[in-house]
Amino acid sequence: MEPKQIRKGYLVKRGSIFNTWKPMWVVLLEDGIEFYKWKHEAMPSGMIPLQGSHVTSPCHDFGKRMFVFRITTSKNHHVYFQAAFLEERDAWVRDIKKAIKCIEGGQKFARKSTRRSIRLPETIDLGALYLSMKDVEKGVKELNLEKDKKIFNHCFTGSCVIDWLVSNQSVRNRQEGLMIASSLLSEGYLQPAGDLSKNAADGTAENPFLDNPDAFYYFPDSGFFCEENSSDDDVILKEEFRGVIIKQGCLLKQGHRRKNWKVRKFVLREDPAYLHYYDPAGGEDPLGAIHLRGCVVTSVESSPHGKKSDTENLFEIITADEVHYFLQAAAPEERTEWIKAIQAASRTGK
C-alpha cells in the first residue's frame, strides 16, 4: 500500500544548491515529504524521509523571511520551507511532528476531531493565546498610533498587550506577562513596529519585549503599514492596504500577456476590498492589485487561453473595469472558499 497523504499545498522551498527560494507543490506522506515543481507532475523533484528527522519552528535563520520552518534529517541535512501565513505554517509543522512521532512509535497517523478551547491549559498554548488576542470583540484592539511624525496603522502598544494578558487572567502579574509576550514575539505571533521595539527585539534591551506605551507591535497577518507625511498620491495608494486581511494563501494565476501560469501569494482585504498578489518567494511589495468593488467572480470549467491540462478548480474575477483574471485553486473546497470570500468583500468593501 502507498503511504497516505496527510497534507498538501504550495510552500516556498529554499534550494539546496543555489539557495534560491521557489514555490513548490508539497505533499506530506506518513513516512516522508515529496515536493514537485507543479501540482500534476508525475515524479517529485525530491523527497525528505521523516525517519529520524526533527522540525524547528519558528526558524530565524533568515531574518527578513517570516513563517519559515526547518526540517533536519537523520543525516543532518537542513531543508527550509516558508508558508504564506502563520496559521498555515503551524498546521504544517503540527502534522509533520505528529507524523514523525507516529513513525517512532510504530503507529498510524490519525486525526482526532477536537475543538479548540478558549480556556488556556496549565502549560500556556501560544497558538491558542494568539487566536484569543486576535478576537475582534475580546482581543487586543488594533489602533492607528502616531510617533515621530509617523503613523503606525493596525498596531498596539507593548503596555496594551500586558494589560490584556493580565485582565484576561492569562498571567498572574505583569512580570509573567512580559515573559509570555517575549515568547509570542520570538515565535513570530507578534512583530515589532518602530525603532524602540525593533531594537529591543534585536537584543539591545534587557528584555526582547517592552512593557512600554511607546513600543509598538502588530499581528503578522494584519493590515499593518507605516506612513510618514506624504503626498496625496501616496495616501491614495496606501488606502488599498487599510483593509483588514480576511483570507490569504497561494493560488495559480494566469498571466495577461504570455498566458502562462505562476504561483502567487494572494492577500484578500476588505473595506476597501482589494486582492493583492505577491511573489511567494520574497518581496514585501505586491506585484499587482485587483480592486474588487463591483466585481463578478465565478467558477469556470476551462481557461480560454491556457495550454495546461490541469485546468480544474479554476475561477474568474471580472472587475468593474472589465479586466479578467483567471486563478486556479488546489482543491474544489479551496476554490469555493475563495469565491465566497471575494464575493463577500466585493459587496461590503468600498
Query: Domain check: are 334 and 242 in the same one?
Result: yes
Query: Domain check: are 172 and 213 in the same one?
Result: yes
What are 66-104's pLDDT values in tens digits? 889 999 999 999 999 999 888 888 889 999 999 999 988
Query: Of the candidates 176, 206, 227, which is a domain's last residue?
Result: 227
Which phi and psi (to 5°) does residue 24 adopt?
-135, 150
Query: Domain check: are 43 and 88 in the same one?
Result: yes
**Model confidence, pTM:** 0.66
Longest CA–CA span in the chain (Å) reads 64
Expressed as residue numbers, the domain containing 274 is 235-346
Overall average pLDDT of the 205-232 stretch: 78
CA-based angle 55:58:63, to the nearest 5? 125
Query: Domain check: are 239 and 341 in the same one?
Result: yes
pLDDT at 78: 94
CA–CA dist 192, 185 (Å, integer)? 8
Q: Are 292 and 349 spatial neighbours (Cβ–Cβ below 8 Å)?
A: yes
Query: Domain check: are 181 and 209 in the same one?
Result: yes
What CATH number does the domain containing 177 carry?
1.10.10.10
Query: Of the candidates 169, 201, 227, which is a domain's last residue?
Result: 227
Query: Domain check: are 175 and 201 in the same one?
Result: yes
Query: Domain check: are 142 and 245 in the same one?
Result: no
What are 221-251's pLDDT values in tens digits? 777 777 764 444 444 456 788 788 889 999 9
CA–CA dist 14, 172 (Å, integer)? 42
Query: Domain check: are 220 and 242 in the same one?
Result: no
Query: Domain check: are 252 and 199 in the same one?
Result: no
CA–CA dist 141, 53 (Å, integer)? 40
Query: Domain check: are 180 and 101 in the same one?
Result: no
Residue 218 lies in a domain: yes
Query: Domain check: are 56 and 72 in the same one?
Result: yes
